[in-house]
Structure formats: C-alpha cells, structure tokens
C-alpha cells in the first residue's frame, strides 16, 4: 500500500531524458500505487490544452495508462501549468484538485498545495499570480492563436530566468528568501485547517520539516524538482519516505 506524490517535473522537449524518466516511473511504479498526486509544474510551460506537442501527448498517454490500471491520479496546477484544463485532464483520466486541497491519507488528513501561495514575501509574483488566475485574463489569453501563446510563454520564461539570475548575483540571501516559503504563511495554513501535515512543491528544496504550530506537532513535506534527478514522496500506512529517483 503506497501513495505517491511528485511535483516540479518541468517536462519539456528540450529535456527528453527527464520525460523518459517520468515514463519509466509511471509504467514501473505509479501503475501499482494506491494513488498518484502530481502537485504542479508537471510541464515547464503549458499554454493551453490545444497544444499538439509530442511531450504533452506522451505525458497524457502515460497518465492515462496509470488511470486505466485503476490508480486514481490527481493534479494541482502549478505556476508553470496553471492553464492546464479540463480537456487535458479528461483525456489523461486525472482529476484536478483545488489549491489548497485536503485529502485523507491512510486515515489521517493532509493539506496539499503546489506551494507558491506560501511564498508571500515575493509580492511581485503574488500580484502576477492573482492576475493570471483571473478567469477573464485566462479567457483572453487562450483566445489568442497558439503561436502567439507559445511566443509569450518563451518570452516570460526568458524574463523570469534573467530576473532570477540578476537577483542571485546582486543579493543571494534575498533571492533565497523570496523564492522560499514564508514561515508565517506555513503556520497560518496549518492553523487555518487544523491539520498536522502539509505537502507541497514549488521551492525545489526537498525536505521533511518538523515544526510546532500553536501547541501541535506538525510536519511540512517539500517535494523535490526533476531537473537533475527525479524526486518522489512515498507514503504508506506506517510512514513516509522522500527519495530521489
């Protein structure tokens, strides 16, 4: 009995080895799990469910195979694939969850998030996030031709990389703080739900943190990214392990 959690794969045609690793993981391990949760940034960029990319089609097929084997697959949108919609989810056989979402995990509740909502110190990003999650903004963006959307995504990725690179050089400490969660946001989330376990990705800092919120012993599990290797959280009735692939 094992439930699997992954996030921040950032699958892209330019990194075929990672896409192959994802495929192997799905066919060898996920297909035998109790459930699979993908907590955002499955793709490096997603500009709409009508994108006919080979990577998208391959990922869709691998997820559908797992779902057809009887394994429930759940997805929370990330900051790179927040436009992944119901059409892709239906084709892949997976269910999209809200962010945050509460699930029962072998009799105990857990909060699931992508994780970007916890990075409240980066006010510029939070403003951008609020804008791009607006249904009117998304409808306007998705109404554009596919080529225009792809060009926008490429430009946004380049601008983001340049901005982060500049921050690292000018003030590495500030960069680390802005791209990590805010402890107050973590505490507030755990207090709001009254649940002891929070699982998220986004920050690319894999770890299991033990903390005290109020008088409760809590746990924050951060999933790793798939840039240099794979990362998976395996949860069983008796415990959990966070491992590299």
Residues 78 and 200: their CA atoms lie apart, in Å, by 10
Q: What domains appear along the chain, each with residue ranges and CATH number? A: 3-244 (3.60.21.10)
Q: Hey, which bits of 97-244 come out as E strands? A: 101-105, 108-112, 197-200, 207-213, 216-222, 231-236, 239-244
Q: What pLDDT score does 133 carry?
A: 96
Q: What pLDDT score does 178 carry?
A: 78
Nearest CA to 97 among 55, 148, 40?
A: 40
Q: What pLDDT score does 160 carry?
A: 75
| Positive/negative CA dihedral, 179, 181, 221, 13 | negative
What pLDDT band is residue 16 in, cutting at 50, 70 and 90? very high
Residues 233 and 136: their CA atoms lie apart, in Å, by 36
Q: What pLDDT score does 110 carry?
A: 98
Residues 217 and 206: their CA atoms lie apart, in Å, by 20
Grouping H, G, I as helix, E, B as strand and the rest as coil, residue 44 is: coil
Averaged pLDDT score across all residues of the chain: 94
Residues 47 and 152: their CA atoms lie apart, in Å, by 9
160-214 tens-digit pLDDT: 777 677 666 666 667 677 789 999 999 999 999 999 999 999 999 999 999 999 9
What pLDDT band is residue 109 in, cutting at 50, 70 and 90? very high
Residues 33 and 66: their CA atoms lie apart, in Å, by 9
Cβ atoms of 29 and 77 closer than 8 Å: no
Give residues with Cβ within 8 angstroms of 33, minimum separation 6: 2, 3, 4, 71
Question: Per-residue pLDDT for 141 more than 80?
Answer: yes
Mean pLDDT, rounded, for 135-150: 96
Mean pLDDT, rounded, for 26-39: 98
Question: Per-residue pLDDT for 158 more than 90?
Answer: no
Termini Cα distance of the chain: 19
Question: Per-residue pLDDT for 104 more than 80?
Answer: yes
Q: What pLDDT score does 162 carry?
A: 75
Provide φ and ψ at 243, rounded to 5°: -130, 155
Mean pLDDT, rounded, for 43-47: 96
Provide φ and ψ at 167, rounded to 5°: -65, -40
Fill in the DSSP letter of residue 30: G
- Block residue for tokens 């509460």: 102
Give the range among 23-27, 81-85, 156-160, 197-201 with minimum mean pLDDT. 156-160
Question: Per-residue pLDDT for 38 more than 90?
Answer: yes
Residue bearing the bigger pLDDT, 159 or 22: 22
Give residues with Cβ within 8 angstroms of 35, minimum separation 6: 3, 4, 71, 72, 73, 74
- Block residue for tokens 């060898």: 28
Percent of the chain with pLDDT over 90: 86
């Amino acid at each position: 009995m094992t439930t699997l959690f992954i996030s921040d794969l950032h699958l892209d045609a330019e990194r075929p080895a990672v896409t192959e690793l994802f495929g192997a993981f799905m066919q060898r391990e996920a297909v035998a799990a109790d459930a699979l949760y993908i907590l955002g940034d499955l793709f490096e960029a997603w500009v709409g469910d009508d994108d006919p990319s080979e990577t998208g089609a391959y990922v869709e097929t691998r997820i559908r195979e797992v779902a057809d084997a009887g394994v429930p697959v759940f997805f929370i949108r990330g900051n790179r694939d927040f436009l992944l919609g119901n059409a892709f989810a239906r084709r892949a056989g997976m269910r999209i969850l809200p962010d945050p979402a509460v699930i029962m995990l072998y009799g105990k509740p857990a909060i699931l998030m992508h994780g970007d909502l916890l990075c409240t110190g980066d006010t510029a990003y939070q403003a951008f996030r609020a804008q791009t999650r607006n249904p009117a903004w998304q409808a306007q963006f998705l109404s554009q031709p596919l080529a225009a959307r792809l060009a926008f995504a490429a430009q946004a990725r380049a601008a983001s990389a340049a901005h982060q690179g500049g921050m690292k050089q000018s003030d590495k400490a500030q960069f680390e703080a802005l791209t990590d969660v805010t402890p107050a946001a973590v505490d507030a989330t755990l207090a709001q739900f009254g649940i002891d376990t929070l699982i998220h990705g986004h920050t690319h800092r894999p770890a299991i943190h033990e903390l005290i919120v109020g008088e409760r012993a809590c746990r924050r599990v951060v999933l790793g990214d798939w840039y240099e290797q794979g990362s998976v959280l395996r949860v069983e009735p008796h415990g959990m392990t966070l491992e590299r692939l």
